[in-house]
């Protein structure tokens, strides 16, 4: 699930995620029940693409939420984020710059960690941040 203010890159990032092989569930508005998301019937399969217009495309009717990505334009990404889990849902919540070149890869990797395909050693899942033997002078580089 992507959230953020208007113009922060939600639809742009969604389009790149779809282009990378993920399915469209909804753009702009979602109906969420029991951690499952779907588009309102009137908006199902539609995405607004700036510079192109309103496009209808194949979509998934419903999907289980696995991650909440809040888009902003931070000055610098956090290297090892603190554990950020939504208390009501248990979803990992991460903040990304939606226009950053690595945003799609970061989201796909986070989803693979949630599914158990990769192992997140420390960061969003609350793992021990001292798990990496990083000298302090390397942390800023």
Total number of domains in the chain: 1
pLDDT at 57 over 80: yes
Q: Sorting pLDDT into bands at 50, 70 and 90, what band is 136?
A: low
Residue 20 to residues 30, 52, 90, 105, Cα–Cα distance (Å)? 21, 19, 26, 9
Which CATH number fits the domain that encloses residue 122? 3.40.50.300
pLDDT in tens, 74-113: 666 677 787 788 888 889 999 999 999 999 999 999 999 9
Cα–Cα dist 12/59, whole Å: 16
Cα–Cα dist 37/76, whole Å: 31
Query: Which residues constitute the domain of residue 6?
Result: 2-139
């Amino acid at each position: 699930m992507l959230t953020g203010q208007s113009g922060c890159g939600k639809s742009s990032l969604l389009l790149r995620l779809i282009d990378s092989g993920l399915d469209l569930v909804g753009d702009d508005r979602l109906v969420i029940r029991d951690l499952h998301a779907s588009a309102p019937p009137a908006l199902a399969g539609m995405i607004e693409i700036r510079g192109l217009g309103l496009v209808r495309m194949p979509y998934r009717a419903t999907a289980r939420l696995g991650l909440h990505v809040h888009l902003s334009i931070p000055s610098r990404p956090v290297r090892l984020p603190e554990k950020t889990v939504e208390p009501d849902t248990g979803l990992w919540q991460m903040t990304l710059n939606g226009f950053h070149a690595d945003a799609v890869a970061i989201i796909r990797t986070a989803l693979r960690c949630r599914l158990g395909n990769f192992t997140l050693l420390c960061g969003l899942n609350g793992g021990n941040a001292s798990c990496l033997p990083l000298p302090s002078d390397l942390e800023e580089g």
